[in-house]
């Protein structure tokens, strides 16, 4: 089952800018089933733990500050080839490089405030989903 699931966050910029509905519409239209979803806010410690893999990168402090700055919408999405297909749907990390029609091209404002997270592997999708959701919150 894990191979058909990915994890996403609509980042604080998406929530603040009123794009929750528009982004969920894109996700729905692309054929993903929502297996879990909630609005939540990460603490600084949560964001440090979630992004621990990036702790040595120069942008880590900025990333943690931004990701804990306001509410997000966390979700687990299900579809065949979910991880790869969702990365295509969201587009490149830097919205300036993102393909036309992708979520980041449409809704991101910068490399840091880039609208959405998408897991980069099946293994990380499972880890990230479990970070945010209890078993009884996944359907």
The set of catalytic residues is 117
Tokens of 60: 């880590």
Residue 8 interacts with ligand IDP (CB under 6 A): yes or no: no
Q: How far is the CB of 19 from Mg ion (least distance, A)?
A: 20
* Residue-wise DSSP of 62-109: HHHHHHTSS-EEEEEEE-TTHHHHHHHHH--SSGGGSPTTSHHHHH--
User: What is the residue whose two structure tokens read 């909630």?
Assistant: 38
Q: Which of 78, 85, 120, 122 binds ligand IDP (CB under 6 A)?
A: 120
Strand partners, 41: none
Residue 46 interacts with ligand IDP (CB under 6 A): yes or no: no
Q: How far is the CB of 120 from ligand IDP (least distance, A)?
A: 5
By a kind-dependent CB cut-off of 5 to 8 A, residue 63 interacts, out of ligand IDP, Mg ion, none, with: ligand IDP
Spell out the residues 6+ positions from residue 123 whose beta carbon is closer than 8 angstroms to its own. none
Q: How far is the CB of 26 from ligand IDP (least distance, A)?
A: 16
Provide the binding-site residues for Mg ion, judged by CB under 5 A.
120
């Amino acid at each position: 089952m894990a191979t058909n699931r990915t994890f996403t966050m609509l980042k604080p910029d998406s929530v603040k800018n009123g794009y929750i509905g528009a982004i969920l519409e894109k996700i729905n239209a692309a054929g993903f089933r929502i297996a879990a979803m909630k609005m939540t806010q990460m603490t600084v410690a949560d964001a440090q733990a979630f992004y621990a893999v990036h702790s040595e990168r120069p942008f880590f402090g900025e990333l943690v500050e931004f990701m804990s700055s306001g509410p997000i919408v966390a979700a687990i999405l299900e579809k065949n080839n979910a991880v790869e297909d969702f990365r295509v749907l969201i587009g490149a990390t830097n919205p300036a490089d993102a393909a036309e029609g992708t979520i980041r091209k449409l809704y991101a404002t910068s490399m840091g405030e880039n609208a959405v997270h998408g897991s980069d592997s099946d293994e990380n999708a499972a880890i990230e989903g479990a970070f945010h959701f209890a078993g009884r919150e996944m359907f």
